[in-house]
Amino acid sequence: MWLTEPRNAHSPLAGLKVLELARVLAGPFCGQILADLGADVIKVESPEGDGTRQWGPPWVEREDGSREAAYYHACNRGKRSIIADFRDAADLAQVRDLAASADVVIENFKTGSLAKFGLDYPGLSASNERLVYCSITGFGQTGPRAHEAGYDFVVQGMSGFMSLTGEPEGVPVKMGISISDLSTGVWSANAIQAALLMRERTGRGQHIDMALMDCSVGLLANQATYHFASGENPPRMGNAHAQVAPYGVFPTSDGHVILAPANDGLFRKLMRMLGRSDLTEDARFATNGGRTEHATDLDAAIAAESATWTKADLLQACHDHGIPAGPINRLDEVFSDPQVVERGLKVDLGGLASVRSPFTFSEAELALDRPSPMLGEDQPD
């Protein structure tokens, strides 16, 4: 029941066959990335369906009057859906048949739980040695937490994200998106494509072990090296930056803006624009190190000036002078921003709006040809 013709012959992954045994966010988000890139993704759902179909409000109503939660549509565009109960012999046989001719399987069941159905990597690769099999779990296939369920909020705390997010004197704060789930989906899509390239050399697939915890720790980047180099824990900085100043949120007469003059030249430009060139002569602010050390005093001086401007005028002046700056947009402002509109980041498929994967190719195009599937929409007769 794989597609006989690619969804879009001009897409990078045209003809790739992906079987998705995943639900909620990390696994489905990975599957959606591959679907946007042109893969034929068959989503296998339980008779009750992916739980996110019911994670509303808000709800998205289809033309036929049926509806699912908006959350579901964030990570299931471009796929087909079939229903399978793994406890049913006929359903299980159908899933195994699909896996036998698949290029990729994505699954996010608890570690080891698919083995009893023969749907784990050893069980499926025995009849398909070219299979790239990606397991997505909270903590990976090994280690003392391997058999624990993983939840984005918990992993945000465990990975160090929340120790870095929030005001210095406030409580630790999670991010406003499910960053651990979403980043795992992105890392996983990258790993799958790397394994597919390796398969071209070796002729064999392999098992990919992806964990929310690993992927979150992997994003610590400069905060991790701060800790490794200093032996200290990076502090929560709110909107400030531990290594660059001025760099943060500043008031205007009608709102707030972000100012990010991240080097000496940009700092001098900003001071001239604000009429405070005298600050560039202050020994405390002569270098980035000094500005960071005395950031409280410097920020207060800049805030006193920025507060006399309107948001629009300050941002326009920064643009004219080549100073990095921007507004703090609500989502309605994001999707009406001329840059976002020009880049086509909002897509509408069958009356269902979503955000496209942010790839732009010179010699390829995304396969944006169908909305998220209804439950069992592609069930064979």
Please give the positions annotated as active site.
181
- 3-class secondary-structure state, position 15: coil
Cβ atoms of 337 and 347 within 8 Å: the answer is: no
Q: 226: closest CA among 180, 164, 177? A: 164
Cβ atoms of 234 and 226 within 8 Å: the answer is: yes
Q: How far apart are CA 132 and CA 91, in angstroms?
A: 22
The DSSP bridge pattern shows strands 248-252 and 255-259 to be antiparallel
Q: How far apart are CA 66 and CA 60, in angstroms?
A: 8
Cβ atoms of 110 and 104 within 8 Å: the answer is: no
Q: 137: closest CA among 155, 122, 121, 125? A: 155
Q: 3: closest CA among 347, 378, 274? A: 378
Cβ atoms of 27 and 106 within 8 Å: the answer is: yes
Q: 356: closest CA among 344, 364, 365? A: 344
Q: How far apart are CA 199 and CA 96, in angstroms?
A: 21
